[in-house]
Amino acid sequence: ETGVTQTPRHLVMGMTNKKSLKCEQHLGHNAMYWYKQSAKKPLELMFVYNFKEQTENNSVPSRFSPECPNSSHLFLHLHTLQPEDSALYLCASSQERQILTGELFFGEGSRLTVL
Amino acid sequence: AQSVAQPEDQVNVAEGNPLTVKCTYSVSGNPYLFWYVQYPNRGLQFLLKYITGDNLVKGSYGFEAEFNKSQTSFHLKKPSALVSDSALYFCAVRDEDSGYALNFGKGTSLLVTP
């Protein structure tokens, strides 16, 4: 148990569907992250939120829409995805006052398959 | 820009033997280096980090890593491998320019055979 919970763990969706991934952290952290993990590729940082404000968006397509209603919750809304978006989506959190030195705490991931 | 290279896709070690997983980095400022492990169908777990100070860093599960500034390397080591160490290992780096972003290597698969 890492203190970061992601739901659902597995999701299969068609290209026309709309779905959402949810992340919740119980660590009292203020920064939250979405990473994409595809086979044989480095982890790709997608979004970073600090105190609910988006601080980074790494040129992610608009079919991925993040939402951070408070410091404990992070969502990734998905719509009109492509098969190449199939991947493991990882949520992480960290302590804001340790921006450079603090490690990230990861959830178990949401395995997304786009048909 | 920050980057990490893990030159080996896979490392094979016999149980009881020492293991090394290699990592080299490139940053413009001072590096902050991390190692993570990922077991099948799980998220990443933090193993250890180098921030400053002693070049030999000790972490979880008996792992350690040596920071070498001249070779820009941060290799992960363990004196005696266990079968249960078989997993995917990721090296990651930040510097003052990267802010929140932790930049990961592509990972090295470690297989420890009995």
* pLDDT tens digits along B18-75: 999 999 999 988 899 999 999 988 899 999 999 988 999 999 999 999 999 999 999 9
For residue A111, the chain B residues in CB contact (below 8 A) are 41
pLDDT value for B29 = 86
* Among the partner residues B42, B100, B105, nearest to A99 by beta-carbon distance: B100
Tell me whether residues A48 and B43 touch, CB distance under 8 A. no
B17 vs B66: CA distance, rounded Å: 18
Of residues B102, B101, B83, B81, the one with CA closest to residue B92 = B102
Per-residue pLDDT for A99 more than 90? no
Neighbouring-strand partners of residue B92: B34, B104
Greater model confidence, A55 or B58: B58
* pLDDT tens digits along B64-105: 999 999 999 999 999 999 999 999 999 999 887 777 778 999
Greater model confidence, A20 or B40: A20
